[in-house]
Amino acid sequence: MLREKIEKHLLDIQKPSRYIGGEVGSVIKDKSKVDVRFAFCFPDTYDIGMSHLGMKILYSLMNERENYWCERCFAPSEDFENIMRENEIPLYALESLDPIKDFDFIGFTMQYELSYTNVLNMLDLAGIPIFARDRTEELTQIVVAGGPCVCNPEPLADFFDLFILGEGEEVNLELMDLYHEMKKQGASRKEFLRKACNIEGIYVPEFYKFHYKDDGTIERLEVTDNAPETVKKRIIKNFDKVYYPENFVVPFTEIVHDRVSVEVLRGCLRGCRFCQAGFIYRPFREKHADTIVGQTKCLCENTGYDEVSLASLSTSDHSEIDPMLTKLLTYTAGERINLSLPSLRVDNFSEELLEKIKKIRKSGLTFAPEGGTQRLRDVINKNVSEEEIMNTCRIAFEGGYSSVKLYFMMGLPTETDEDITGIAELAQRIIDLFYTMENRPKGRGVQISVSCATFVPKPFTPFQFEPQDTREMIEHKQKLLLDSVNKKRVKVSYHDADVSILEAVLAKGDRRLCDVVYTAWKKGCKFDSWGEHYRFDKWLEAFEECGVAPSFYANRRISYDEILPWGHLDYYVSHEFFVRENKTAHEAVTTPHCRLKCSGCGVNKEIGGRCFD
Amino acid sequence: MIRLRAVFSKKDRAKYISHLDLNRCMLRTFRRSGLPIWYTEGFHSHPYFSFALALSLGYESDCEILDFNLNEEVPPNEVRDRLNAVMPDGMKIISVAEQKLKITAITNAEYSFSLITDSPELLMNNIKSLINQEQILIEKKTKKGIKTVDIKPDMKIISFEVSEKSVDMVMRLPAGTQTNYNPSLFFEALKKSSEMPFETAKIRRTGIFCENNEIFS
């Protein structure tokens, strides 16, 4: 029925194959034989969502169970959304083309703060009540979320029945098993949630009430319904043996990352103090080189992709990087597969490794010093020295590269104008290096791209206590940078400060932001991460109307003893560690990475032993 | 190098695969099949796939032509079966054989379609009066701009019949390297001349022909 209605309009919209399913690798089941149906929703368009590795893993994992059926669902682009609303087509899942409002679970993955309004829009398109409190008492339509943003889920708390903290491979199935069992018994939604909150990793926000002080900070947290005082994230202990899909859904239309992805390691041992991923995914765990090669082969054969990329936070930190790349390259070269290697770090970039990479890399090299001076790099614990940057650039230039892309952050704690002009000076020294080299690539001048993001303080990092620079400060620094670079050789690009402000507010926000998110969506905000859709003016109106000051969240220093909106969530890294690291940062002292020396972040206590053998 | 030609159908959901995406889709299908794909030599080595005619997005077909090369001899029926085992839903290889004729031999293609309306009899009369005109002038977009062409001499109606809710037609139009007319040109002409609303449905390419109405193979 719905299919006919959909097909009637498919030729009037852009890239219709995104809305009708039928891709190779998609899983079709007989719904009369299915007990639990899960709609895996990505709060952005198909092109972006289909690139997400986590969805591929959990999709295949849930579908391994014969009586569970996981389907995909994405945010429609504006053209199709309008058609859906005009023709009363409810948001549906791509496999069965059934409305997701009839599903048992509606699960969102929260990858970035600027996708929050899309969640509301998708629930609305689906015909599901936006606020959890308005949903039926029956056990159905459980709206859940996971992903990195749920480490502080408070700005979304009113919209979800529960959040899944940490890695989903085990807990998702446990949750579905519990649901299946309780559904048979005829339990209610509330009864289910009361049981579910006892599964490790499950956070049911309605059982937690915040009380605030007059100054706006949190006074205390009241826990009801016998829910646990703290909720601990889930991790996979044996990462080498963790489930990994043997097949991906292969889209017809081109997507952002249109290739096989193989996860080589999880967690990061570096401890860069601004980086949330570096802390929330701890401990560092890796797969054996042979496991990685096996999974690569299997996926390439089953999908037909001729490109594979290694996914991780820092691929070159893999302890078997050399044998792994050698084995992979032997396979990929023989099969005419391109291997792409994102996330390579400057400091352990050996000549042998570069030789191997040169064979397969066509584009330029990208490095992320993040800070323009050594002092600032020490503050953020980006353990990269200028000597190492120069050395890597020298190797790269000798290898025939003549363009280098450098990533920096602006607005970092303790940053001064000197650190900003330091970016220009560093770029200039790289240019000078190029021209002093006799064996530099001939016939071309050197080109440096400097890409500058605005620092966003994030929960579960040593910088969670830090204020973000105000817009005026950021604009001053952006102008300073533009004025100090060599315009002929250096191209500067930077992020819109307005976007980073909202990111900071939503990242560190508390439950009072739910109304702001709702109001902003009501005013038409959606696809906030898309430049052409972003309406900061509407957001400011929403803040104003809800009586919430964005600066309270973005530009205020949080004291070490303040109760944090995410303080009851346990991501294995201790509060004491973050305080210690914050203090060390202000002394511009670095902390060595985990393999060199354990810094006592607290993770090893949780996993019962050492992170490294 | 072994040159082969496949005839394949593209129906159902597969009709939403655009021509641009079809190339990528075929490459992945061939890779999944494990067939020995032939690659071009040179710096940007790539496999060779060539579709005889582009098919508009949303159109179905029973007769798409794909030319491709293999590195070693594989029995044509085995090629067909191995591809079909890993084809996307809605697509099927009907036959694989050697390339008998050159692509340039194609002169026209046949399409079937339904024109949905509440008053099919009336629409039928409109169609009749349209095709009885001396000329059927339409504006065709070309690379050089908009051109007015008379599609009547090249348009051959094979059949039309009235059913309860539609007029169902089969027609042949020029196709190939020289002139390509899409049935949408006829729909436009009909919309302009009849001023009555109708919707098009089940548009399908049903045959690709050479001069003398020989089926292209």
Q: Structural domain boundaries of chain B?
A: 2-100, 104-210
Find the mean pLDDT for residues B9-26.
96
Here the tokens at position A497 are 């400060």
Chain center to CA of A179: 28
Here the tokens at position A313 are 């936070």
**How far apart, in whole angstroms, are the C-alpha atoms of residue A491 and residue A128?**
47
Per DSSP, the residues of A431-498 read: HHHHHH-TTSPTT---EEEEEEEEP---TTSTTTTPPPPPHHHHHHHHHHHHHHS-TTTEEEEE--HH
> Cβ A254–B24 below 8 Å, yes or no?
yes
> Cβ A253–B21 below 8 Å, yes or no?
yes
* Position A343 pLDDT exceeds 80: no
Residue B5 contacts residue B99 (beta carbons within 8 Å): yes
Find the mean pLDDT for residues A340-344.
71
A24 to chain B, any CB pair closer than 8 A? The answer is yes
When pLDDT is cut at 50, 70 and 90, the band that residue A345 belongs to is low
Give, in order, the Cα–Cα distances in Å from B116 to each of A36, A187, B163, B201.
40, 50, 10, 7
Tens of pLDDT, residue by residue over B109-158, are: 999 999 999 999 999 999 999 989 988 888 888 778 888 889 888 999 99
> What totals of helices (H) and strands (E) does chain B contain, helices first?
4, 10
A301 to chain B, any CB pair closer than 8 A? The answer is yes
Question: Under 8 Å CB-to-CB from A532, ≥6 apart: which residues?
Answer: none
Here the tokens at position A501 are 């402000």
**How far apart, in whole angstroms, are the C-alpha atoms of residue A176 and residue A61?**
12
Tens of pLDDT, residue by residue over A439-463, are: 888 877 899 999 999 999 999 999 9
* Position A363 pLDDT exceeds 60: no
Tens of pLDDT, residue by residue over A225-262, are: 999 999 999 999 999 999 999 999 999 999 999 999 99
Residue A122 contacts residue A73 (beta carbons within 8 Å): yes
Per-residue three-class SS string for A75-141: CCCHHHHHHHHHCCCCCECCCCCCEHHHCCEEEEECCCHHHHHHHHHHHHHHCCCCCHHHCCCECCC
Supply the pLDDT for residue B88. Answer: 96
Supply the pLDDT for residue B149. Answer: 86
Let me know the angle formed at the C-alpha of A560 by A554 and A562, rounded to the nearest 5 degrees. 70
* Residue A315: CB atoms within 10 Å: 19
When pLDDT is cut at 50, 70 and 90, the band that residue A472 belongs to is very high
CATH number for the domain formed by residue range(s) B104-210? 3.30.70
B19 to chain A, any CB pair closer than 8 A? The answer is no
Supply the pLDDT for residue A444. Answer: 78
**How far apart, in whole angstroms, are the C-alpha atoms of residue A112 and residue A156?**
12
Question: Under 8 Å CB-to-CB from A267, ≥6 apart: which residues?
Answer: A281, A282, A283, A284, A285, A313
Residues 79-138 of B with CB under 8 A from A: 86, 88-90
Supply the pLDDT for residue B168. Answer: 97
Residue A232 contacts residue A281 (beta carbons within 8 Å): no
Per-residue buried b or exposed e for A251-272, using 16+ beta carbons within 10 Å of the residue's own CB: bbbebebebbbbbbbbbbbbbb
B32 to chain A, any CB pair closer than 8 A? The answer is yes
Q: Where are the beta strands (DSSP E) in A251-351?
A: 260-263, 265-266, 285-286, 307-311, 338-340
Supply the pLDDT for residue A403. Answer: 87
B41 to chain A, any CB pair closer than 8 A? The answer is no
Query: Across chain A, what does the average pLDDT equal?
Result: 94
Across the interface, which of A15, A22, A302 has its CB nearest the CB of B13? A22
B17 to chain A, any CB pair closer than 8 A? The answer is yes
**How far apart, in whole angstroms, are the C-alpha atoms of residue A460 and residue A566?**
8
Burial classification of residue A300, based on how many CB atoms lie within 10 Å of its CB (0-12 exposed, 13-18 middle, 19 or more buried): buried
Q: Which residue of A has its CA nearest to B11?
A: A22
Find the mean pLDDT for residues A579-599.
96
**How far apart, in whole angstroms, are the C-alpha atoms of residue A486 and residue A593?**
34
Nearest to B66 by CA among B32, B36, B29: B29
**How far apart, in whole angstroms, are the C-alpha atoms of residue B142 and residue A93?**
39
Q: Calculate how close chain A gets to B46, using CA atoms only, in Å.
A: 9
Supply the pLDDT for residue A349. Answer: 55
Q: Which residue of A has its CA nearest to B85?
A: A24
Q: What percent of chain A has pLDDT over 70?
A: 96
Tens of pLDDT, residue by residue over A372-426, are: 999 999 999 998 888 888 888 887 788 778 888 899 999 999 999 999 999 999 9
Find the mean pLDDT for residues A318-338.
90
Question: Under 8 Å CB-to-CB from A129, ≥6 apart: which residues?
Answer: A123, A135
Supply the pLDDT for residue A316. Answer: 84
Q: Calculate how close chain A gets to B216, using CA atoms only, in Å.
A: 28
- Strand partners for A109: A146
Tens of pLDDT, residue by residue over A55-83, are: 999 999 999 999 999 999 999 999 999 99
Q: Which residues of B touch A15 (CB under 8 A)?
A: 18
Residue B167 contacts residue B140 (beta carbons within 8 Å): no
Q: Is the ipTM of this complex over 0.90?
A: yes
Region of poorest pLDDT, from A74-83, A345-354, A476-485, A597-606? A345-354
Supply the pLDDT for residue B31. Answer: 97
Radius of gyration of chain B (CA): 19
* Residue A535: CB atoms within 10 Å: 17
Residue with the bigger pLDDT between B63 and A364: it is B63
Tens of pLDDT, residue by residue over A291-327, are: 999 999 999 999 999 999 999 998 889 999 888 988 9
Supply the pLDDT for residue A192. Answer: 98
B145-150 vs B49-51, strand pairing mode: unpaired
Across the interface, which of A22, A253, A306 has its CB nearest the CB of B90? A22
Q: Judge if B2-100 and B104-210 fold alike in CATH terms.
A: yes
Give the type of residue at B166.
S
Supply the pLDDT for residue B147. Answer: 85
Find the mean pLDDT for residues A468-478.
95
Give the type of residue at A487.
K
Q: Which fold has domain B2-100?
A: Alpha-Beta Plaits (3.30.70)
Residue A19 contacts residue B17 (beta carbons within 8 Å): no
Tens of pLDDT, residue by residue over A25-50, are: 999 999 999 999 999 999 999 999 99
When pLDDT is cut at 50, 70 and 90, the band that residue A344 belongs to is low
Query: What predicted TM-score, i.e. pTM, was given to this entire model?
Result: 0.95
Residue with the bigger pLDDT between A365 and A173: it is A173
Tens of pLDDT, residue by residue over A167-186, are: 999 999 999 999 999 999 99
